[in-house]
Amino acid sequence: MEKVKLFFKEAYDELLNKVTWPTWPELQQSAMIVLVAAIVISFLVVGMDLVSKYSIQEGIYKLIR
């Protein structure tokens, strides 16, 4: 039981005294970078989906018919 208490005490101490938390402007900048990256990746996935759909419908299905 003492090991569990020691673990939580050390974890709490580390979070308060050893972790470097970002400033508000740094946090906003990081959030914007993540947002832009997510939007770009989603457009890439939509584009790949449309290309796959078109190539299957217009290529493979027309060959089978």
Please indicate, yes or no, if residue 12 is contained in any of the structural domains.
no
Structural domain harbouring 41: 22-65
- Kindly tell me if the per-residue pLDDT of 65 is higher than 80: no
pLDDT of residue 42: 98
pLDDT of residue 58: 83
Please indicate, yes or no, if residue 1 is contained in any of the structural domains.
no
Please indicate, yes or no, if residue 53 is contained in any of the structural domains.
yes
- Tally of domains within the chain: 1
Please indicate, yes or no, if residue 37 is contained in any of the structural domains.
yes
Please indicate, yes or no, if residue 63 is contained in any of the structural domains.
yes
pLDDT band at 44 (very low <50, low <70, confident <90, very high): very high
More confident residue, 14 or 62: 14
Please indicate, yes or no, if residue 13 is contained in any of the structural domains.
no
Cβ neighbours for 30, distance < 8 A, ≥ 6 positions apart: 22
- Neighbour count for residue 5 (Cβ, 10 Å): 9
CA distance 41 to 56: 22
List, for residues 26-41, the tens digit of each pLDDT value.
999 999 999 999 999 9
